[in-house]
Amino acid sequence: MTSCDYFNGHEIARHLLSVHRRDNEQCRLVCTGAHKNRMRDLERQGAEVVQVRPEDAKEFEAVFRDCDWVILVTIPEHDRVESSRRIMEAIKKANVKRVILISHAGAESNERLKNLHEYAEIEKEFRNQGYNWQCILRNEFPQNWFHAWSQPVEDKGQFPLSTGRDKKFAPVRLEDVCCALKDIVRGEESSNNKHNKQIYTLTGPEAVNGPKIVEELNRVVQGRVNYADVDRQQMEKVLRSLREREQQQSGRDDDDNRDYFEDQPTDTQIHTILDYFDHVKTGKADRTTEDLRKLTGRDGQRVEAFFKEHASEFRPGHRQE
């Protein structure tokens, strides 16, 4: 699995280790990334952690030689299209049996939005590799990223979004994406190849707008959080302030904290979120799919359940002076 030193890849790997590895204790999970310090907790949980730089195609080829599966999570840096291309070519040379690409909802329809269009380019390159078996998962905006909003909630009692007040989207939990991954693997091991060359769009079970998200949050924490309808520039400032806060706390020794990743969100992660929120503004994200239910037999987690699970992070006024 790639990009395990960045948020999405790390969270997927962590959940695969903590839950689904129990289904097959003989299964090896190899986690690659350029920053080994960010993967120390994965190693303690039983992953085989390998430090590989994105430009080192030969090392990727050696690491993935004859693997049954590779889960390809893009590296969220400025050259992610080119780095993904190098890794995909290395996977091809490594004689990997099956490859799953983790992509982003909106990749199919947003040529004008640079960061979503990059996912479209990566998908095209992925299909052109001609793997014997391949599958693409387009994930909606991860609920897990809402951890980032705990700062403005606690500091100012605000939940800012640049999606537009009335526009809806259906955030998906990364743990539910992991359930889909597990069931794809289990299904393909029966040799029916029903998922080969398929593209699935994984959404949460409900499309919600900003005010609805805040309504669910207030119901859980019994607080008075206000929805803030902000523009792209203001939203960027919020996301950058998160990174600045984490940089200020970089000396702390708590690498078990899964929500802490040095120098994140990266510029590429920030601009991908901003482009996605612009995509939401067009109204094209106002839909849910049945793909998660088809793969796992159940719906994913609702936004309200996310806030219930993490209610202690969203108490307005905790940091107000």
Average of pLDDT values for 87-98?
97
Q: What is the pLDDT of residue 109?
A: 79
Residue 250 has pLDDT above 60, yes or no: no
Task: Name which residue leads in pLDDT, 20 or 113.
Answer: 113
pLDDT (0 to 100) of residue 24: 60
The three-class DSSP label of residue 20 is helix
Predicted confidence at residue 247, as pLDDT, reads: 54
More confident residue, 252 or 246: 246
The pLDDT assigned to 318 comes to: 55
Residue 24 CB coordination number (10 Å): 12
Q: Where are the beta strands (DSSP E) in the chain?
A: 30-33, 48-51, 69-73, 98-104, 134-139, 158-161, 198-202, 226-229
pLDDT at residue 256 is higher than 80: no
Q: For 281-308, how does the pLDDT look when each residue is reduced to its tens digit (9 = 90+)?
A: 999 999 999 999 999 999 999 999 999 9
CB 91 within 8 A of CB 67: no
- Percent with pLDDT over 90 in the chain: 80
Report residue 258's pLDDT band, with 50, 70 and 90 as the boundaries.
very low
For the chain, the straight-line distance linking the first and the last C-alpha, in angstroms and rounded, comes to 44
308: its two tokens: 């219930």
- Report the C-alpha gap between 103 and 201 in whole angstroms: 9
User: What is the share, in percent, of the chain residues with pLDDT greater than 70?
Assistant: 89
30: pLDDT strictly greater than 50: yes
pLDDT in tens, 154-172: 999 999 999 999 999 999 9
**Residue 146 confidence class, pLDDT cut points 50, 70, 90:** very high
Angle between helices 114-128 and 267-281 (to 10 degrees): 100
Q: Are 161 and 278 in contact (CB under 8 A)?
A: no
Q: Whose structure tokens read 């940091």?
A: 319
Give tens-digit pLDDT for 182-240.
999 988 776 678 999 999 999 999 999 999 999 999 999 988 999 999 999 999 999 99
- Alpha carbons 233 and 190: distance in angstroms, whole number: 50
pLDDT digits (tens, 9 = 90+) for 122-144: 999 999 999 999 999 999 999 99
Going by the DSSP 8-state scheme, the letter that residue 205 receives in this structure is S
Give the pLDDT of residue 315: 83
Secondary structure class of 131 (helix, strand, coil): coil
Distance separating alpha carbons of residues 71 and 316, to the nearest angstrom: 38
CATH of 7-142+173-202, one of 2.40.50.100, 3.40.50.720, 3.40.50.11820, 2.30.40.10: 3.40.50.720
- DSSP 8-class letter at 52: -
3 state DSSP class of 67: coil
Q: Is 164 left (phi over 0), alpha (psi -120 to 50) or beta?
A: left
Assess contact for 151 and 135: CB atoms under 8 A. no
Domain covering 145-168+204-286+299-313, topology: UDP-galactose 4-epimerase; domain 1 (3.90.25)
* Domain ranges (residues) in the chain: 7-142+173-202, 145-168+204-286+299-313
Residue 11: its pLDDT value, please? 94
Q: How far apart are the C-alpha atoms of 18 and 24, rounded to whole Å?
A: 12
pLDDT at 223: 81
Cα maximum dimension of the chain:
61
Q: What is the pLDDT of residue 321?
A: 39
Is the pLDDT score of 255 beyond 80?
A: no
The pLDDT value recorded for residue 306 is: 96
**pLDDT at 254 exceeding the cut of 60:** no
Assess contact for 39 and 33: CB atoms under 8 A: yes
CB 202 within 8 A of CB 289: yes
Mean pLDDT of the chain: 91
Residues 56-63 have a mean pLDDT of 97
